[in-house]
Chains A and B, each alone.
Chain A
Amino acid sequence: MKIMVCIKQVPHQDARLDVNGAGTWIQEENIKFEINPYDQNALEAALQLKDKEAGTEVVVVSIGPERVTQSLRTALGMGADRAVHVKDGAADGSDSLGTAKILAAVAKAESPDLIFAGFMSDDGNLAATGPMLATLLGIPHTTTAVSFQKNGAIQVERELEGGALEVVELNTPCLVTTQTGMNQVRYASLKGIMAAKKKPIDVKTVADLGLAGQVGADAAKIKIEKLYTPPKGQGAEILSGSVDEVVGKLVGKIKELGLL
């Protein structure tokens, strides 16, 4: 079986984020990046299948600049077999559809039996790429997987609103997006890191994938107009004093505002 895992490199959870000069994205210089946490669970799910089924190949795919190599090496160090890196300035500024088109072109060349992607990315929060990719490929998909099983067909337990769980079954080829916490993500071992150095990273351009002019900022239908931190403290009032005093003031406020 062949599994493709889509991974995105996002700012590290501990990174200090500032808005860039143009006010359209974050300042990316000198911050640390990591594999999108949702995608880490996706990768782990793929690696668990590989551990169970001999002969399974796990291919990780990522789009982005040179720094993405490090995330791909991490994925290879954790146990993925190969990587495809779409490294091309022409892909910059793609919206979810552009990203999905690039991934679809890679998937067509790879023809995986199963595609895993994170439910959403930590930076964009759109949760759109996975379903769009499945739609472009014309394969079934499901989202927010919290557990996963393969007994011939694929069974996925997915999370719904209000804590309900739903079980769905899909035939391969299909696509599954994963929720964080679905599994315990493994760490790269020293042997894994050493072995990863010898594993291939296939670098591709947008033109290699036959998508020149169809992706990137110019083709995007969604543009970020403005990114900013809302001003602090407006409309907030800090009550001070001992616990009893604060409680008293709070109750007074609630009454005053007619909230009770």
Chain B
Amino acid sequence: MPDMVTLTIDGQTVSVPKGTLVVEAARQVENLIPVFCYHPKMAPVGMCRMCVVKVGTPKMDPATRQPVVDADGKSVIAMMPRLQTACTTPVSEGMVVVTQDSEVEHAQRGVLEALLTSHPLDCPVCDKGGECPLQNLTMGWGPGKTRFDYNDKVHFEKPVPLGDLIYLDRERCILCARCVRFQDEIAGDPVLGFYNRGRAWHIISQSDPEFDSKFSGNTTDICPVGALTSADFRFKARVWELQPIPTVCNHCSVGCNMTFDTRSNDIKRVMPRENDAVNEIWLCDRGRFGHHFNTSKQRLTTPLVRKAGKLQEATWEEALSIVAQQLDGIRSTTGGKAIGGLAGTSLANEDLYAFQRFFRETLGSANIDHRSGSALDLPLDDAGAQYGIRSGTDLSTLGKGTVVLVFGADPEEEAPVHLLRIRGINTRGGSVITLNGRPTKLDSIAKHALRYKYGSESAILAALLKPLLDSTPADGKRATLRGFNDLVAALKGFNLDEQASGISADKLNTVAELINSAENLVIFYGRDALTAGASVPAGLANLLVMTRKAGATNSGLISLLKGANARGALDLGVRPDRGPNYAALSNAGLDAKQMLSAAREGKLKALYVAGVDPVGDNPAAAESLKKLGLLVVQELFLTETAKLADVVLPVLSVAEREGTYTNAERRVQRFRQAIRPTINARPDWQILQALANQLVSEAVLSAAGGDKSRKQTRREEDKARVRSEWTYASPAEILMDIQANVAGYKGVSYASLQGPTGQWGRQANENYYFDGTSYQNTGGLGVQLPAAVETSSIQTLQPFSVSTPASVADRPWTLVGATFLYDDGALLTDTDLLNNRKAKAVVALNPVDADKLGVKNGERVTVSSGRGSLSLPVHRTKLAPEGVVVVPVGVNNVGLVSVVEGGATPVAIRREA
């Protein structure tokens, strides 16, 4: 329990933790003090002066240092001579605050009148109208009439663009600096500033390109007026006509809570929904603006069936029965093993569960995966679930005592809102360590920003583990750690090669100490770490075990997998080697890569692809797919893979249906249907259910041909395999099935996901002026699943070994494929606003290296590995360390996929003539 302080606000007694600001204390007694510049997520600045109140403190006797008491034994209160800003005044014991009396109201009226003198009052055409703190506070606290002359208002050119995404109307700006402070303090992109002074004081962008930040949209939420509006929502709708539907962002693994604000069955804007445990009140610009795919004209609108070599429109009955018959045919002739299935990480848990059931039960095939079979696929990550961040952890509460280790990850690009959360932990007194192969934005706040050389990741981890091992007492403690001796053996004789790893052993010892002494240890790892070999996630898990943080409160791994629901896919067994809940399988199926080679060799007859685009990811996959007897694609868009399909089944998007996702922190969250589908598409699970039921029905069996007795046995077999006919009426029922059959999801239901909704104890509407226009979370906070280690008493160290990559003499450079937030992924279809920000098809090369090669910006180089080569223009940048070339993943026409070998790849570089 923190130290509590008791004070009186307007006669009511309140107790609040020491350090609480008067403005926050007043919210607890439901006496709102009006604010403009104050924002609960940022340091107070006391600029707007709206929150002035009367404050008094007990009078102290200077001699005795005791409060002076009156005849009744009550403390004598000395009122401060001036009004005080409630947003900058911390509470103190015995304080007396008056928020409502004529003097206070007079002053507040003055501030509002002052603000309105420079305000254009163009509410009728202002996007903020209806959810505008200035409007609301004027109604509550403002003067009914102004004494200022209308023509004395300040004038500026009406909205000027601050970059592509945001417009600034300087006449509407009340100069509260919330936007500037958000960028400085929270986003860590100090790209906004002020210019000039007095009434001419105004906001400017000071970056090139303008407003260069992935979080710019948040400023439009917290701006207390309509000075900042988004290019996406400007003039699209009046806010009171919008219906906010709770949903979850499906662009990355953070799983930000948001709403689709709809009108006339159209998504007008995306707004954050408060969830302190996930995104607080923030969204990144991809999540906010990347909703246009839902309503894209390029969506598939009806089933397609290949006839006479061409995909032609068909009815669902026709399309489904073709698929069912053909699958049944293959199943009865070659068995399930000739059928493969890929279901992607944008699919809901309910779809994924249905998918693996369909394969394992209905088709009798273990060949399932959620990846596309390209060289850029990430390995299956189990550590993130076994040693995942402990359930109940709320990163927004962590600070002092917490160490965040970011290993081989670039949260800004891979999971942007995590960047904000890591920065928040740092602001609250935690420490950040970045251990990366290349620079990232987090380095600037890191206590230790260390740069390893690609290939030395396991050696770095060994160097961190070794001192922890050495300091573990020989007694009983070691016995409680399963695998201790194996780890000792693996590290026997290990000595860090400082030259090869790029970091000194001393430095790593310091880091190990810091990690070891931390109260909480949170480890983020991303693409670079995941592709650096199995020992990396294992080593990270071992760090947790060795520091006694595995399964401990507020500690654990957060794996930044690609895709919103990659964790769901892993949890629910959309993978060849394990069933739901990571259950071991006696016979593993083929993974995506193996399926493609099996197809090429003619062993795989049918491939069923849902939300994955093997050909888009790797054009070479087309050759394999062309060999198939049946290619079924279940999709939003006519992807490169869909173009080759025999049957294309259109699905509903996240906005048109409901379901759940499991995020990187293993929080299961629910999204709801926001708009009515206007196309002839179906949710993934429904399609799978229809097929599953057709495949056991009489019709299919008879159509399959063969003699009667064979038919009879087949039918018995199928009945045994299929528990029963699928009768899911909604995703909620599938989730009930999941919670009954998948141990990790026990107890998770649409009811429990609804969860507690109260955040910050706020009153109706007050969010407008306290945190901006983000929505209160009425759609549920979700449920965080426990990590496996939380429930086991013995801690297991993961198999770990140090590998040293052999250097390849004629390939002295290292090629790294990097994730960028703005890529050419299908989910950004029709979000043209972000086009200028998309990663370019270039090779990032350090200027020193570029000079060595004699290449200027824009000149082409050939990069070749043992597998192949690519040719791209050069972008000289320090973001590529010397000796490393960085090429974006997920960007069209880079050819990366035919060059990389797993993770960091030795390559040769040649300047093209």
Q: Do A and B bind each other?
A: no
By a beta-carbon cutoff of 8 Å, the part of chain B in contact with chain A is none
